Amino acid sequence: MEITRAGELLIRAPLRTPESFIRSFVEGRADWIEGHMAAFQLRRAEAAAQPKLSPEELTRLRAEARRLLEARSAFFAPLLGVTWAKLTVRTQRTRWGSCSAAGNLSFNALLALAPAEVLDYVVVHELCHRKEMNHSPRFWAEVERILPGWRQQRSWLRNHGQALMARLPEKT
């Protein structure tokens, strides 16, 4: 059961699951559904209220993000015992960061608008992929070793990230 980015409830079940079982399952989780749908609507309203960034603001934001992300990556990489090949900053609509197998890091410029702890979480998350190119327990143990409060930062992104993404103009 999940709420999609479009705000729709999606239920997945094995092909031969009786419809009565699915209905009972959903009805038994009505409180969860209502709570999460309300939170989704609140985040959507928060996002709609955000002013769009101008082209000039985006240019300044990318430069500031690059400065911050390079500095924080340089700080955390030795703590993890890793390096990276290249660091790029983009204005992506669906990702906060990524790490390629070749060691290239890519970050969203909008991280410069997030709290510093959230930016640090994304940097550490991507640098940990230099050790583990997955989200295994070993990966999360590395994140935890460097940032014990990472769950709060991930939660912040889930709750407020849509509002940051909404600041992007229609075409960037």
Domain boundaries, the chain: 2-48, 55-165
* Mean pLDDT in residue range 52-59: 92
- Tell me how far CA of residue 131 lies from CA of 86, 119, 134, 161, in angstroms: 16, 19, 9, 26
User: Given a cut of 90, is residue 40 above it in pLDDT?
Assistant: no
pLDDT at 47: 64
* Fold of domain 55-165: Zincin-like (3.30.2010)
Strand partners, 2: 10
Confirm if 69 and 123 have CB atoms less than 8 A apart.
yes
Q: Position of tokens 């959903």?
A: 26
pLDDT at 24: 93
